[in-house]
Structure 1
Amino acid sequence: MKSKVLVAMSRASSISITRKLLLSFILLMVHLYLSWSYKDFVWLSAYGGLITVLGVIMLFNFTFPHDLEKDFPPKLNIEKTKNGYIEHNDNSPFGWELTNNYAEKMIEKYNEELEAYKLRFLNKRDRILSSFIFTIIGTLIWAYAGFLNILFGW
């Protein structure tokens, strides 16, 4: 049974990156308005904390293994010999002789699975990078927004 925190984090991180950017922009506008209204950039600093939390939630979801079988590249246990193809079993030192037609179909299927794996890997890498960017930007805003009070003389 999943805990309520994990379920909430999973729901929050399943939102698309476009919606997260829109949400963060709306929150930025609200916090900038509050900062100007109250003449205190602590409100903007609070926005940085929210963006940091959003980045951590995104990072948790993107790095948490959902389907371990898809997280590893596909394997091809076929070896080309001078007489044809041999398929090796992981549990046996002996192999099965394959027809050329069947072996070529297996190789073609393997290449398709490898391309799909590469696309999943690149997509996951981009999502992890975006979560790092959210976290870093949020932390910098959180840490340094209060100094804008000095700059504006508030």
Structure 2
Amino acid sequence: VEEVAWALKDFSHCLYLGRGINMPTAYEGALKLKEISYIHAEGYPAGEMKHGPIALIDENMPIVVIAPRDPWYEKMFSQIEQAKARGGIVVAVATEGDDVIPTIADHVLWVPPTPWMLSPVTTVIPLQILAYHIAALRGLDVDQPRNLAKSVTVE
């Protein structure tokens, strides 16, 4: 994870893509990156990438793709390939033992094999650790992020 953090620490923007039950994982990964590293990040449904985010992808926009072995696994290949075709740096969260993702992504964050319905439990962890390391490399206080409240009050 630290190696990937070094590769991403100087970017100003980052796009997170997920599908199915890992769509919320993409949202959480982007939120965590924003909260503690102050990098603009957005989570987006991978199937909707062509409706906006694709226009932003270039060598200055890294893409984090949540791609464990699940029912949507093979559909993520086209998103990775489209991002690579536009110069994007692709970080994939993939299942250990995957032999395809490492051939098309620039970096891989590995998670253990898990029943697909439980995959969000494992795929979110490397994203949280990645955000932590990026913030630390940027010299930020990860224990007290600015303007962040520990609780939310609804009125």
Interval containing the TM-score (normalised by the shorter chain): under 0.3
Higher relative helix content = 1
Higher relative strand content = 2
**Higher RCO (C-alpha 8 Å, min separation 6):** 1
